[in-house]
């Protein structure tokens, strides 16, 4: 496992980049809560980059199950400008969150950027059920309204999570 930097500081670094700087940015939403059924992981990146699941391994935390990453992975792409907008929204969203609410882990959001002039950046945010619903909706809202595939994939994962 790697040293985990606070998501706010890593997101701040990402917000300083342009769409071009974020070509290889990958985001991953993994359901990590108690599980009665499989919930596919969602990964998205720009259309300039193929998702690399191995990039996320260093963001994993001990004691959290990432079993859903090993089964089905649903993915979609965004434009570089769209992913920059998602990063801006995430930076605001994280800044508005209060201290952890003591809920058990429910959803993992991991971000990894490599091969960029911004350097290598990676972080993970794990939130409880209430915050995860808000986070999924915030990402959905940040996507371009014309990104029907991205919005549908996020909706499907949300339905499975419940």
Confidence of residue 98 (pLDDT cuts 50, 70, 90): low
- Of the two residues 56 and 9, the one the predictor is more confident about is 56
For residues 56 and 1, the model is more confident at 56
Cα gap 88→82, rounded to integer Å: 10
3-state SS, the chain, equals CCCCCCHHHHHHHHHCCCCCCCCCCEEEEEECCCCCCCCCEEEEEECCCCCCHHHHHHHCCCCCCCHHHHCCEEEEEECHHHHHHHHHHHHHHHHHCCCCCCCCCCEEEEEEECCCCCCCEEEEEEECHHHHHHHHHHHHHHCCCCCHHHHHHHHHHHHHHC
Sign of CA dihedral 12, 18, 89, 132: negative
Check whether 49 has a pLDDT greater than 60: yes
Contact by Cβ (8 Å): 54, 130:
no
* Mean pLDDT rounded to a whole number for the chain: 90
Write the pLDDT tens digit of every residue in 63-82.
899 999 988 999 999 999 99
pLDDT band for position 162 (cuts 50, 70, 90): confident
Q: Between 18 and 25, where is the model more confident?
A: 25
- What tens digit of pLDDT does each residue of 127-154 get? 998 899 999 999 999 999 999 999 999 9
Q: Provide the percentage of residues in the chain whose pLDDT is more than 90.
A: 72
For residue 145, the model assigns a pLDDT of 95
Give the residue-averaged pLDDT of 112-125. 94
Average pLDDT value for residue range 94-101: 69
């Amino acid at each position: 496992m790697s040293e985990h930097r606070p998501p706010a500081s890593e997101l701040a670094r990402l917000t300083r980049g342009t769409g071009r700087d974020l070509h290889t940015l990958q985001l991953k939403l993994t359901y990590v809560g108690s599980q009665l059924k499989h919930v596919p992981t969602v990964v998205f990146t720009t259309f300039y980059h193929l998702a690399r699941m191995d990039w996320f391994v260093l963001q994993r935390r001990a004691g959290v199950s990432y079993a859903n990453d090993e089964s089905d992975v649903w993915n979609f792409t965004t434009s570089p400008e769209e992913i920059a907008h998602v990063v801006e929204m995430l930076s605001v969203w994280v800044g508005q969150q209060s201290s952890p609410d003591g809920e058990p882990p429910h959803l993992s959001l991991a971000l990894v950027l490599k091969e960029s002039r911004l350097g290598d950046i990676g972080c993970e945010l794990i939130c409880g059920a209430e915050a995860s619903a808000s986070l999924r909706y915030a990402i959905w809202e940040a996507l371009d309204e014309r990104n029907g595939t991205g919005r549908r994939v996020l909706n499907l994962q949300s339905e499975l999570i419940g």
